[in-house]
Amino acid sequence: MQRVKLTAMLIAAAIGASLFAGCLGNNQQNADSEPTPPNPVTAPAAAPEPLPQGNPDGPPRTPDRVRVGVLRGPTGMGMAYLMDMHENHLTANDYTFTIGGAPEEMTAGLISGEFDIAMLPPNLASVLYNRTDGEVKALSINTFGSLFILDATGEIASVEDLRGKTINATGQGSVPQYTLEHILRGNGIEPGVDVDIVYNTEHTELASLMVAGDIKIGLLPQPFVTIVTMQNNDISAALSLTDEWERLRPGSGFVQGVIVARTEFLERSTDAVELFLSDYGVSAAFANLNPEEASLLIERFDIVPAAVARRAIPGSNLVHIYGEEMRLLTEAFLQVLFEANPQSVGGVMPGEDFYFVG
């Protein structure tokens, strides 16, 4: 037990500080062997390079300050270049960024009016829309699924291989649970009958138990996938839930993160929101195309340590999907969650006015 506590402390430190360099050399081969799902970015196709040097006399700011809530982890990694562009006076919008560690911080900031724009899991965005009578709207998808089945047994090569096994996971009552159960049932495996699922409270707890060798099969998101495989050569990222979702539902998407805006702000400052969407598109593209440089910015803004971000970006599915495509993909994903448990999306499916399609 003491070993687990120590490992948990180390993992927490790796997430919260710019450490982790010592893990790189020991686990190079294992980390490089992680599956690399596609990173679709609908717009723009390229990002400026090299990093900006600054332009104090840059474009004029808009009348409205745009206050953005940013989550640590994959959803926040795509925002780092935009934060750097703003610091160097390369954006027309006058942004204020606040980094948070939990979706609840984002919802609280939106409800209080502290944030104009924030990142949320799609089902939580739907819950907030329903509970506030439409006071938030979805702007874009910023992350497809970054959940992986981690395996220390060497026996997991397909979903069928999970039959008869025990899977430890996090996210009970939220997107990870409903997505995992949907994929299992789609492959003829009934949760609780053909496979046991044990839920841990926190990502760090599950990650530490896997690193210590106390759990053999676990479901974790990036960047914890990278952290675990860097620390334990016996563990591999065996299955991508994004890939498995797309096998079951071709042409759809495992929508793990969206960006939302307060409706009042959107209606008052539509131009500023559209500028934000353009800026974020550049930022997400930069992260995907330049993970080495992006990782340094990601660490500088205290989102994820650079050593982890550099390896996690290819498996994090950072995207920028907006407009009608965003609506169709998000609506289809929420429908799956609604069918599993209506309360997961706030009791009813959100109306079409939940989606800002420009």
Angle between helices 122-131 and 175-186 (to 10 degrees): 120
pLDDT tens for each residue of 249-279: 888 889 999 999 999 999 999 999 999 999 9
Q: How far apart are CA 114 and CA 103, in angstroms?
A: 14
Query: Both tokens of residue 21?
Result: 């360099």
Q: What is the pLDDT of residues 79-137, one digit of tens each?
A: 999 999 999 999 999 999 999 988 899 999 999 999 999 999 999 999 999 999 999 99
Q: Which has more confidence, 67 or 60?
A: 67
CB within 8 Å of 320: residues ≥ 6 apart: 41, 42, 43, 78, 140, 141, 142, 277, 280, 281, 284, 285
> Which residue type does 295 have?
S
Task: Please give the pLDDT value at position 34.
Answer: 39
pLDDT digits (tens, 9 = 90+) for 166-222: 999 998 888 899 999 999 999 999 999 999 999 998 888 999 999 999 999 999 998
Mean residue pLDDT of the chain comes to 85
132-152 confidence digits (pLDDT tens): 999 999 999 999 988 999 999
pLDDT of residue 11: 44
Residue type, 273: V
Computed from CA positions of residues 79, 82, 86, 87, in that sequence, does the dihedral angle turn out positive or negative? positive
Q: What is the per-residue pLDDT for 201?
A: 86
The CA-to-CA distance between both ends of the chain, in Å, stands at: 53
Length of the chain: 358
d(CA 162, CA 213): 18
Q: Name the DSSP class of 195.
A: B
Pairing type for strands 236-240 and 166-169 reads: unpaired
Whether the per-residue pLDDT at 76 is higher than 80: the answer is yes
Could you tell me the domains of the chain? Answer: 2-33+147-248 (3.40.190.10), 71-145+257-354 (3.40.190.10)
- Compute the distance between CA of residue 90 and CA of residue 250 in angstroms, rounded to an integer: 39
Is residue 306 within 8 Å of residue 14, measured between CB atoms? Answer: no
User: Given pLDDT bands bounded at 50, 70 and 90, which one contains residue 59?
Assistant: low
